Structure 1
Amino acid sequence: MSAIGRVLLNGVATVAMGVSLLAVTAPAQAQRYEQVPQSAYCASNDNRFARCQVPWRDAELVQQASKARCIRDQTWGFDRYGIWVDRGCRGQFVPARGYGNGNGYGGGGRPGWGRPQQLQVRCESHGGNYQVCPVDLRRDDSVRLVNRLSGADCREGRSWGWSRDGIWVDRGCRADFVVERRY
């Protein structure tokens, strides 16, 4: 082989080795600097059990995306493997309050210390029809309207309200609501 051939062959080998090293090391670097997800979508498709891994200690359902009801410890829950869903429950989940930024290391103190946690929910009555937006509400929670989106009037008790099942709207009311979690 000529001297030029050896130089070209060495150059090609060096480039190939460099590309293979980049291919091996780049994903590891990308994972190291990846942000912790602040929400996760988990779905039970075809009514089958499914599990979604998250780096949190607990989760909270913030928006149901299925017609099937999502009920904690019945059709969805959280265990050491992450979020589980079953029987058609699909929804958007966030780290449960009281666990800091969701990095799995706490940092938020005990629930009930500090100011209440807030969750924003959009609920819309289309065609003037009654609609329930499922939100896991507890006895000590409170709900308030923060931004009316419709031309229709939104009056608590008349065209919007809330119960343990969630926030309801009627008569064309469309709005953003804030749920304040109290402990």
Structure 2
Amino acid sequence: MFRIRTGWMGVLAGVAAGLVWTAAPVAHAQDRDVVRCGSDDGRFTRCQVPWRDAEMIRQESNSACTRGQTWGVDRGGLWVDRGCRGQFVEMGRGGGYRPPGGGSYPPPGYRPPDNGWRPGPDWDREIRLQCESNDRQYHFCQVDVGGRGDVRMVRQLSGSACEQGYSWGWNRAGVWVSKGCRGLFSVSRRW
């Protein structure tokens, strides 16, 4: 009786070890293709990826994750901002992620980058825009800054403090303001 139990225990241990051994490489291979990227403390963050474009397969934050506003891909890699956190894969390999609450994904009008596309000759230029946080609420002013662009505040228009990284900031998709900051901004668009 003791030998039979030992035999069965040995067989079960061998089967379990075999399952772990064969399953581990599959799980590892899947993990290799998924990149987790998160915006800590609401700050802009870049995550290096080997792809030209990505799609979100799982949102892991309570903060909104909206392509072009709180996450995107540019020449510098995958970026996230304003608390967005999620798991990303190469575009076309995600299996049809749908954002919480319904809606369509990718957003209407979104087109993956065309490898040969370049903007027209008047694209690289300065744009001035006014962006305002009314009632101390967060507000996003959308403008394509470009992969090598920059934004600076030209003039503060509010009595509330405007401090970059605290009450105003920017990413490739535009300028954000909060905590009552209102200002005139210079956007140097650069492809």
- TM (norm. structure 1) is 0.38
In our comparison, the structure showing a higher alpha carbon Rg is 1
- TM (norm. structure 2) is 0.37
